[in-house]
Chains A and B, each alone.
Chain A
């Protein structure tokens, strides 16, 4: 039995040694496979004279591999029905479901996928929630596959709406807090759940953080806060 298990471990090690690891990124933040990522950094430009607004949702999606592959298949399926765009290998494709074959990835080099949703809407038209299932698959013997869902909207029903407290404010380069009285526990994570700050705070201070969207728990309150 022991020999069989050792043999099995050896075979597994051999097989997994060939499986490449694919990782998606939203900006600089790694995406946890299988997760639903909420993205709220929507650009809206209004043109009142022409009675329309431009909506742009660009989460800066990229992918990286830990090994060279010239046969990665990228699938982006907008399940909410909008037309989205994905680019790779010097070409872009736009449709409700986009499949790009034979995408080349080099070891350790991020590739920008040019994933975005853009639309011209009437001024009073609601900005849609764009939900897209994104998958990358190594179409070789390794068969590595990674997927996640991204939900892009002005606000998401599944997450507490952004609350700006007098005692917690986004400032240039970080988040400013002000606590009068007792110490308050403050915890801040990235939108993909990575812990960036966790401590009891009182008085005033600034937590230095790069720009982006964060989820916070501050005392008995929680919400989202965006640093520009």
Chain B
């Protein structure tokens, strides 16, 4: 039982990271119907930013964190401006391929700049454990879960209560109508990319104490975040997080209780099963084309 709880907590922590990456997918998808296959790479670049600020420049953790998030937000905006905006309105598959290309590019570039070794960052949560009776929970895992919850609450209020959040929701519903109503759609889309990249960066920073940072970490985690996003319905922000947690827990449990090899396959088997039973995901809406 103790094992189970421990596995459950680490699964949830991992799932939160998946969920944050999936959240990035969903934000961008809702606004522009672009699936950003480079979302995992954005997280990876965020991790490297943090490593540069904290590991190389020796800044304080929180300052480094803040700088990295801001830097990634700017990075997201630039990416949107350079690569996505010119091709918005092309067939969806072309845009998907462009983001795959972006992912390739970032992965190789990061490898060239920061090398291909595993890097480690020291954070306030790196060691230290929380003991409840016999239960031992590592701070790094707990920090991921807590930070994710905080981030969600912030995003929730941003989307529901602020003017810009409302504009973003309007743009997601109907871009053309939003444009007619005087919403600066281009700025909104730019900002959505910024937020999405910033969220990815948070995921990267939170992940740092748990695994090493490596140029391929984005690909591996990004691929796991797809099932999470699909499970959540690809259009639903809470869905993405729930989906992420489901995938994270399943994966950890499979790694602990099943034979070797299952761990990597289980998320995809679940994904295929969900797609078969509910093609629009657990929280998705099935919309119909009007003829």
Question: Do A and B bind?
Answer: no
Residues of B within 8 A of A (CB): none
